[in-house]
Amino acid sequence: MATEGGGKEMNEIKTQFTTREGLYKLLPHSEYSRPNRVPFNSQGSNPVRVSFVNLNDQSGNGDRLCFNVGRELYFYIYKGVRKAADLSKPIDKRIYKGTQPTCHDFNHLTATAESVSLLVGFSAGQVQLIDPIKKETSKLFNEEGRDSATGKAECRPACQSHVVSLCLPHQTLPLPTCHIMRTYLRAPALPDVWCWYITPSDVWREWTVSSSYALQIERLIDKSRVTCVKWVPGSESLFLVAHSSGSMYLYNVEHTCGTTAPHYQLLKQGESFAVHTCKSKSTRNPLLKWTVGEGALNEFAFSPDGKFLACVSQDGFLRVFNFDSVELHGTMKSYFGGLLCVCWSPDGKYIVTGGEDDLVTVWSFLDCRVIARGHGHKSWVSVVAFDPYTTSVEESDPMEFSGSDEDFQDLLHFGRDRANSTQSRLSKRNSTDSRPVSVTYRFGSVGQDTQLCLWDLTEDILFPHQPLSRARTHTNVMNATSPPAGSNGNSVTTPGDSGPPPLPRSNSLPHSAVSNAGSKSSVMDGAIASGVSKFATLSLHDRKERHHEKDHKRNHSMGHISSKSSDKLNLVTKAKTDPAKTLGTSLCPRMEDVPLLEPLICKKIAHERLTVLVFLEDCLVTACQEGFICTWARPGKVVSFNP
């Protein structure tokens, strides 16, 4: 019971923690926040979110970071573990009125030192495309009014009760420096429309607009809060937007949104979802409307190969679609309550969700079933993310294991469990013998309980029976520690750089031909193939590290799983999606029918609800609702603070 055992020391806020790979340390000087460093009063506002991008420049300082706090949006140079954060000079800063930014995503394909494309979703339903380097607003979606980037269209309140927007792109207005994006004015009474205007020197300016032109602002596509916005992987122009209404829309930045409400035509309908196309003479946005489940669509995530889309909803369902054929691949139901977050393993084989049942749930993409749940959080889980750099394959080796990690005080109370899992591993090894297989996926989660949990997903969970052929399949996919193309919000990688893959240096390469043949599902062949090319970089240093790691044991309790229950699992057939009767089916197995993971570590790291968790190469990044973005150096990556 890692989370219990209470006591005062559990309520302290941790600034470091130890796992089997070493000491993670909070870097206080690498903390990003609003320039005044004042905690944001977070009651009732949207979650703080963070997006990263790498500008592909030669300097090596190409990392940029964007985050929203309340009604503000900041864009900074991210110096990571290397240098202290300089908060005095955000590259861009925007303040919105009447609507708040809720989420954002960079296009990694188009990012350069001179320009980035950042999508921002808002609480009132709009989506903005901005360039925080050029300090421009290029496009506005789901807010119909006059959209004239060149013309001179001025607006004013038509009457007291009507709100009107203003578009003023032209150079004739006396702007302080460079050209400022469009500015929106609104009557203060109505929260519908928004305005901002900020100069590079942080001066607020009110626009006084004489007018000849009145416009009413309407959001014709969806009026509900934007919950998630992401570029479609590999595309420079397509993006997907999810709303709390339960709908998702596919947009193309090149198209307009039209001045009338879209007419939809059914394209495909399935159990609890429908996809419509937008009927129109000229091509317009949205290209597609997805209606998924009941209640808010809380988050979606593209698979690493971009072919599949995992959606989690307030109705408690995970639904995985084939994105191109708009077909439902599989579903899962939470134990209870809404699902709030979702992520893919770097090889696309597993999906992890977190939700209002305080659990993390691991779901197998190939088998379409729950393979484990994890309990460690004391409240709802707000973010889950795989750590592609710690996910690893270990070679099998003699069974010696040292007690070296006993030195780590934080791990002491895991002792009993560790012994247990060691035993199970030992016996299994004896029976299956000498294959170079030990897959360990690492993922993390943060929650409203202000805790960070790290989890290991090990082979005894992944393959309870260790069937030979399948285990082989998995061997080669995860043969290295380099990250996947960034769909997990992990954006410092450069997916645009899709040249020939570097020659794999991993010793497991010769197996790869066999491995694909053993693959269960043909749709995954592509994913595996690309996975091999993407993951096949392995530095010598990393390998050395991992030889140390393998001696450390895993910490989940295996006490709950008898061989009987695993047998039962395999008999469970695929059930109908009747939410009331899902328990005990593969959609939602009973608690005792799947392994229950315990967190590797479970630490209170903030005063406020945690809303961000991103794994980068040399650090992990967390953020809380107060607007503090924290960088935790990975073991051995602390430069200036190491004793």
Residues of the shown chain interacting with other proteins in the complex, contacts defined by CB under 8 A: 4, 41-44, 244, 295-296, 316, 335-338, 356-358, 378-380, 448-450, 580, 583-584, 590-591, 607-609, 625
Q: How far apart are CA 260 and CA 249, in angstroms?
A: 16
Residue number, 567 or 578, with CB nearest to other proteins: 578
Minimum CB separation of residue 353 from other proteins in Å reads: 15
Minimum CB separation of residue 103 from other proteins in Å reads: 16
Phi-psi region of 213 (alpha: psi -120 to 50; beta: other; left: phi over 0): beta
Buried b (16+ CB within 10 A) or exposed e, 72-109: bbbbbbbbbbbeebeeeebbbbbbbbbbbbbbbbbbbb
Q: How far apart are CA 451 and CA 377, in angstroms?
A: 7
Minimum CB separation of residue 122 from other proteins in Å reads: 15
Minimum CB separation of residue 449 from other proteins in Å reads: 5
Strands 596-597, 369-375: pairing kind: parallel
Q: Among 308, 333, 312, which residue's Cα sits nearest to residue 321?
A: 308
Residue number, 450 or 622, with CB nearest to other proteins: 450
Minimum CB separation of residue 47 from other proteins in Å reads: 12
Query: 298 exposed, middle or buried (CB, 10 Å; 0-12, 13-18, 19+)?
Result: buried
Helix (H, G, I), strand (E, B) or coil at 592: helix
Residue number, 503 or 580, with CB nearest to other proteins: 580
Residue number, 449 or 459, with CB nearest to other proteins: 449
Q: How far is CA 605 from CA 11, 413, 486, 636, in A?
A: 9, 19, 26, 20
Residue number, 379 or 469, with CB nearest to other proteins: 379
Under 8 Å CB-to-CB from 450, ≥6 apart: which residues?
604, 605, 606, 607, 608, 609, 610, 624
Residue number, 244 or 476, with CB nearest to other proteins: 244
Q: Identify whether 176 is preceded by a cis peptide bond (ω within 30 of 0).
A: no
Residue number, 196 or 380, with CB nearest to other proteins: 380
Residue number, 105 or 449, with CB nearest to other proteins: 449
Q: How far apart are CA 198 and CA 200, in angstroms?
A: 7
Which two structure tokens, joined as six digits, stand for 90? 């955000």
Q: How far apart are CA 364 and CA 350, in angstroms?
A: 5
Minimum CB separation of residue 210 from other proteins in Å reads: 35
Minimum CB separation of residue 295 from other proteins in Å reads: 8
Minimum CB separation of residue 354 from other proteins in Å reads: 12
Minimum CB separation of residue 337 from other proteins in Å reads: 3
Strands 327-333, 317-322: pairing kind: antiparallel
Q: How many helices (H) and strands (E) does the chain have?
A: 7, 33
Helix (H, G, I), strand (E, B) or coil at 270: strand
Minimum CB separation of residue 336 from other proteins in Å reads: 4
Minimum CB separation of residue 309 from other proteins in Å reads: 24
Q: How far is CA 311 from CA 49, 247, 621, in A?
A: 18, 11, 23
Residue number, 305 or 356, with CB nearest to other proteins: 356
Please report, as a single letter, which amino acid is at residue 28: P
Minimum CB separation of residue 608 from other proteins in Å reads: 6
Residue number, 126 or 475, with CB nearest to other proteins: 126
Query: 271 exposed, middle or buried (CB, 10 Å; 0-12, 13-18, 19+)?
Result: exposed
CB 376 within 8 A of CB 2: yes
Helix (H, G, I), strand (E, B) or coil at 181: coil
Residue number, 84 or 591, with CB nearest to other proteins: 591
Minimum CB separation of residue 66 from other proteins in Å reads: 24
Residue number, 93 or 603, with CB nearest to other proteins: 603
Residue number, 395 or 608, with CB nearest to other proteins: 608
74 φ, ψ (degrees, to nearest 5): -120, 150
Strand spans (E) along 347-430:
350-355, 359-364, 369-375, 381-386, 392-393
